[in-house]
A and B are shown apart, each in its own frame.
Chain A
Amino acid sequence: MSRMARWTPMLFAVALALAGVAAIHSAGGGSDGRALGAFARSQVVWLAIAIPAGVAVARIPFGWLERHAGLVYGLALCSLVGLFAVGDLANGARSWYRFGPVRVQPAEAAKLALLLALARACAHRGGPGALSGQALWRAGLVTAPCFLLIAAQPDLGTAAVLVPPAIAVALVAGAPLGPLVLAAVLGAGAASAFALGGGLEPHQIERLETFLDPDLDPLGKGFQAIQAKLAIGGGGVFGQGFGQGSQTQLGFLPDRHTDFIFAVITEEWGLVGGAVILLGYLALVLAALAVAWRARDGSARLFAVGVAALLGTQVLVNAGMTMGLVPVTGVTLPFLSYGGSSLVTSFALLGLLVSAAAHRPIRLDAIGLPDPHVAPPPRRDRARGLRLR
């Protein structure tokens, strides 16, 4: 991959982040005149930190990071464990560390570490016989501690976002489809048994109920979902105009600069603006997948797949909840939502992606060993080749 082409995802992300700054400015500039653009200013500052951070991370050789993935992941897990002791309680969950005025969400960094660990754990190494059958349980084993720690905060939404990347990584790592589907079914069954068995916190049950019928309590728990839908509906095709969204500007939309930034965008910029943003994310995901396609090293490929899956899942969950397709959770829209931790982590993620794209494994064939990254010759028997089992 060319030196420039590697940076494509980063460019998409910067474009999205700038759109996000504009939307946050508009969302923060309510009619009260107070704190006009304060969030947007802060976001610009974070962006000024996050982009160089991403670029800096891109300089780290992927191979070196991969070698230390276990250590990184271990540190991340420690930080998650530490939350239970000294975490800051907000909205009924301990998800934050507070350092004076700055609040840091370790779950964001943990995502990054998890992707690295997944890539390392599931990548083909040594004998090929070790690979595909093990990918699934390896992925599961690596993800489980992180998932459980985040789910116990409790932040089930963020934890759930980790599942699709793990599955995607296992998939691309060559996990057999049968057990994968079986694992998915079992997982879903276990989740619903957990939910029905009273494992959910009351507020989580309420969220689910209000997702099923937001009008159950339009001024209480269903308020966000309804107001977000109303904001989107009010946008029409071309939107109400920048800084003109009535739901946004009059403060009817809760958490509008964080979780519900997508509603702000669609209310003010309409279907066109919303679609452009969604296509921007699609481009970002496809660019990450392109890195995966071209990667010459198993772990780099799996890491790229993990990045693509994580970003895609976050967008699906966030935009989906804004539009009433999935229950309301605290999952933010990467690059767009206000929030320093998320921004820095997301850019760092892309930095790693750049690094992974640039990763050149030692040419095994050059030293006389078989190179697993070299595609085999086209087979005569196409039908057999296409069979996965």
Chain B
Amino acid sequence: MTPRATSQLSSPSGVAAAKPRASVDHRGRGEGDLLRVARRRVLLLALSSVAVTLVLVGRLAWLTVVEGERLTARADRARLSVEVERAPRGRIVDRRGRVLAQDRPTEHLAVMIGDLDRGPDVTSRVARWVREPRAAVEARWDAIAATAARDPDGPPLALWTAPSAASRRMFARLVAAEPGLLLDGDDLLCERDLLLQPGRVLANLAWIAGLDLERAARTVTQARARALAIENRLDRQQALATPVRLREHVPFDVACAVLEEAPFLPGVVVQRDATRHYPLGTVAGHVVGYQGPLSPEEARALRSAGKLLNAFDGGKDLDGALRAREGGAFLDDRVGRQGIERAYEVPLAGEVGVRLVERDRQTGAWTRRAEVPTASGVDVTLWLDAALQEEVEGILDEAVEQVGALGGAIVLLDARSGAVYAMASSPRYDPGRLGQDFPQLAIDPRRPLVHRAVAAALPPGSTVKAVTALGAIERAVPWGVGPVTLASEVYCRGYLHSWKRFKCNAVHHQVGLEAALAQSCNIYFYRAGEGLGEAGLTYAFDLFGLGRPTGVDLPGESAGLIGSGAWKRERAERAEVAARVARARADAAAAAIAGDGHAEEAATLASRAARAEERAKTLRADAPWRKGDSRNAAIGQGTLAATPLQVARVACALQNGGALVEPRLAQPLGGERLGPPTWLDLDPEVLAAARRGMRQAVTSARGTARRSILEKRGSLEREALAYFLAHAFAKTGTAEAPPKGSHAWMLAFTDTDAEAGLPPLGIAVVLEHVAHGVHGGDGAGPPAVRALFAARRHLGGEGAP
């Protein structure tokens, strides 16, 4: 303020005071009063403007400080999204790096139904003329198109009502240009055909990708109708933003063509995905296994555990997504169901990546803000040699065919470490073609889906005789006048008491341990089994790992069985319950029939019940553990059952001086060494004697293995036979398979072959339900000979672990 201004402001009052009132208004207010009133009211305005400012600043402070956090969180929620990305699945490779299973990229064509254009380009023009957002008109179009999809033959549907005369004129022009549109007063109507017409983009896509346009249009319309039927607005938006697949596994060049035209195909997306590929087909099919979709129960469990990843796809819950990284899965994930695919599901699957992305609302571009990258699945390397496996499978298939067996298995282990070099099972399947082949495989009476090497528990026959003998000598069971020793012998006259039961395969006269093993004399082992009894036999078999899973890294392993009194009683009880159930059913059926029709069924049920009762009676009578049971179990019959893998492990234990190895298919993932085997603490002298006996089975003229294999020498390569005769230790086995027929077994092992650079190997061969007249030696012997020789050729020079 300058002094002059101040004086001007303050002085007039003095002047006015001196003056008389010139005039007053009707209320007697003078002009001076008027100025005062005006100034007072200006002051009032000033005060109110200060008050308004205070209110505004207060509101600002409230929003920024008090509500700031909540509003920021809400803004972040709108702006940020959580994306979950699948990790590439690890490969399965053999010891030489040959791929047995791997992911192969594949492309699918999909459309975002919310973004795809609708029919002819009507919506955008209508939106412009009625001055509404295009999305509003499109939503209305979708709604009536959904109605049209449900009932394509109805009357035309109203799309929009003209809000003004101007837009009505525009509608009239539109109707003139576009057949299928009608004008009814102010209402723009659409023929149902027009509503169901595919859009230009869809038509172009169909032309490029060779799709059936009509079907694609139907799919899109139906998907839109479904999405629009959703009540909840957010869910509806989510549904509209979900891509709908039009065609899966499109050829690569088609995917490329679509991507090239992408700028002209708004709303079309090419989804990248991976399918599992098994390049070697049936080779090691059982071992590699296969994948399958999540079952509804698994999906439910995942959902309740908060581990279902679809919920986070485009979702907002970052913490939830991060928590679900471990053990989470997408609803459409395929997970390992069998074989290595299942056993190593977790390392193979890897861990999903989680990304926090920020959306630019204008450009629609996404920027990564934070990321936990995907952890790719680990490659699982097997000890298996694919070439050896293929050859062994060929050998097995041939043998199965020759002897007319139902199936068979060969397990070839490293005797020191338990590494599986070959594990063949016949018949087989191709995991890559399981989708097409499954129905047939499932009803095949030979049950190709069963992995016989680990899941088939069969009586092992004479192959366990060494186990019986070792157990008897270690326990020093009574043998005539004194306890049994290495030198103890028995006299074989061809049978024990009578010809009917407990016979031997020949008259062996005086036999000791070695000769009994070499010639597979049953009498010696009957004696040993009698001495051992129920408890002793269980001890001996359990010592060599029978009756319990080996712990191999494969799912679905059978434990096998060591029969006992308790088990027999249980079996009898089960049979009795089954018989009672069968009888009750038969009775009910008999009561229900009024005569015709069901009579046949009732008769079947009755005979079934009778059979069950018969069986229950037999088993009840047989329930106590008898001496005969001990004798049978001692030669691997009756109540004993073992898998080929368990038998192969017995072979390894005999080879390596009494160590029970843990069979392993996959090499350790972290590079660690295999765990130490379990030492059985056997008397080395007894073990050596057993080995000698099994060697004699190959070398001595009366040896079971030698005899039967030489019978079949015509079918064997000379070198293979020579190699076997020079190096192998073997024990044949012919197990009776009630009610008739038999399984042919061969257990064999070789010592370290320094010359060929070959590790010690243990092998078990079984042919299941062979034709009549085929024995362990002549049936399972030749494939064992050939497999061992194949191993020498493929693994020679390896050194191996």
Contacts and interface: CB of A to CB of B under 8 A. Distances in A.
Interface of A: 1-2, 5, 30-32, 91-92, 124, 127-129, 131-133, 168, 171-174, 220, 229-237, 246-247, 250-252, 266, 270-271, 274-275, 278-279, 281-282, 285-286, 289, 292-294, 296, 301, 305, 308-309, 312, 315-316, 319-320, 323-325, 365, 369-378, 385, 388-389
A325 B65 contact: no
Contacts of A173: 38
Across the A-B interface, give the 4 residue pairs with the lowest CB-CB distance, nearest first: A233-B71, A376-B32, A370-B22, A377-B17
Contact of A375 (B35, B78, B131): B35
B414 to A, nearest CB: 61
A172 B71 contact: no
Interface string B115-139: 0000000000000000101000000
Given A252-B75, A308-B49, A375-B12, A274 B64 contact: yes
B362 A376 contact: no
B84 to A, nearest CB: 22
Contact of A294 (B5, B49, B71): B5
A131 B38 CA distance: 12
B36 A385 contact: yes
Contacts of B59: 320, 323, 325
Contacts of A271: 60-61, 64-65
A374 B15 contact: yes
Given A375-B32, A376-B36, A286 B46 contact: yes
A87 B309 CA distance: 55
18 contacts: A30-B360, A31-B360, A31-B363, A131-B25, A131-B34, A232-B71, A246-B76, A250-B79, A278-B53, A278-B60, A285-B46, A289-B45, A319-B56, A370-B31, A373-B31, A375-B32, A377-B13, A388-B40
A309 B32 contact: no
Given A129-B23, A237-B65, A251 B72 contact: no
Contacts of B44: 171
Interface in B1-34: 1-2, 4-5, 8-9, 12-17, 19, 21-27, 29-34
Given A234-B71, A376-B13, A289 B49 contact: yes
Interface in B649-703: none
Interface of B: 1-2, 4-5, 8-9, 12-17, 19, 21-27, 29-46, 49-50, 52-53, 55-57, 59-61, 63-65, 67-72, 74-76, 78-79, 131, 133, 358-363, 365, 367
Contact of A234 (B49, B72, B365): B72
Contacts of B8: 296
A230 B38 contact: no
A376 B33 contact: yes
Given A5-B1, A31-B360, A308-B49, A274 B12 contact: no
A233 B68 contact: yes
B79 A365 contact: no
B111 to A, nearest CB: 22
A230 B64 contact: no
B140 to A, nearest CB: 14
Given A30-B362, A92-B131, A271-B60, A370 B23 contact: yes
B61 to A, nearest CB: 6
B610 to A, nearest CB: 74
Contact of B13 (A129, A132, A293, A375): A375
Contacts of A128: 23-25, 29-31, 34
A376 B131 contact: no
A252 B77 CA distance: 12
Contacts of B55: 325
A1 to B, nearest CB: 6
Given A2-B1, A30-B362, A308-B45, A232 B63 contact: yes
B31 A312 contact: no
Interface centre among A1, A234, A371 (most CB of B within 10 A): A234
B26 A233 contact: no
Contacts of B61: 271, 275
A12 to B, nearest CB: 14
B30 A376 contact: yes
A274 B56 CA distance: 10
B362 A251 contact: yes
A92 B25 CA distance: 49
Contacts of B76: 246
Interface centre among B2, B27, B361 (most CB of A within 10 A): B361
Given A233-B64, A365-B19, A372-B35, 16 more contacts: A30-B363, A128-B25, A128-B34, A132-B25, A232-B63, A233-B67, A234-B68, A246-B358, A250-B361, A252-B361, A281-B53, A286-B49, A309-B45, A323-B56, A375-B35, A376-B33
Nearest to A275: B57
A252 B79 contact: yes
A229 B63 CA distance: 8
Contact of B75 (A247, A278, A286, A373): A247
A235 B64 contact: yes
B367 to A, nearest CB: 8
Contacts of A278: 53, 56-57, 60
B60 A32 contact: no
Interface centre among A233, A234, A235, A374 (most CB of B within 10 A): A233
A202 B406 CA distance: 81
B713 to A, nearest CB: 82
B34 A372 contact: yes
B391 to A, nearest CB: 62
Contacts of A308: 45, 49
B15 A266 contact: no
Contacts of A315: 56
Contacts of B14: 377
A32 B49 contact: no
B71 A289 contact: no
Given A132-B29, A230-B74, A320 B360 contact: no
Given A131-B34, A279-B53, A372-B31, A246 B64 contact: no
A230 B64 CA distance: 9
B65 A236 contact: yes
Interface centre among A124, A281, A372 (most CB of B within 10 A): A372
A133 B4 CA distance: 35
Given A128-B25, A233-B75, A316 B56 contact: yes
Nearest to B50: A282
Contacts of B43: 293
B75 A231 contact: yes
Interface centre among B22, B34, B63 (most CB of A within 10 A): B63
A129 B72 contact: no
B738 to A, nearest CB: 74
B71 A32 contact: no
B64 A266 contact: yes
A246 B76 CA distance: 9
B349 to A, nearest CB: 35
A250 B63 contact: no
B81 to A, nearest CB: 12
Given A124-B31, A128-B23, A282-B53, A365 B15 contact: yes
A62 B59 CA distance: 39
A326 to B, nearest CB: 11
A389 B44 CA distance: 16
A236 to B, nearest CB: 5
A218 to B, nearest CB: 9
Contact of B12 (A32, A171, A373): A373
Contacts of A286: 46, 49-50
A61 B329 CA distance: 80
B23 A174 contact: no
B17 A236 contact: no
Nearest to B233: A219
Nearest to A133: B26
Contacts of A251: 360-363
B258 to A, nearest CB: 26
Nearest to B237: A219
Nearest to B30: A376
A236 B68 contact: yes
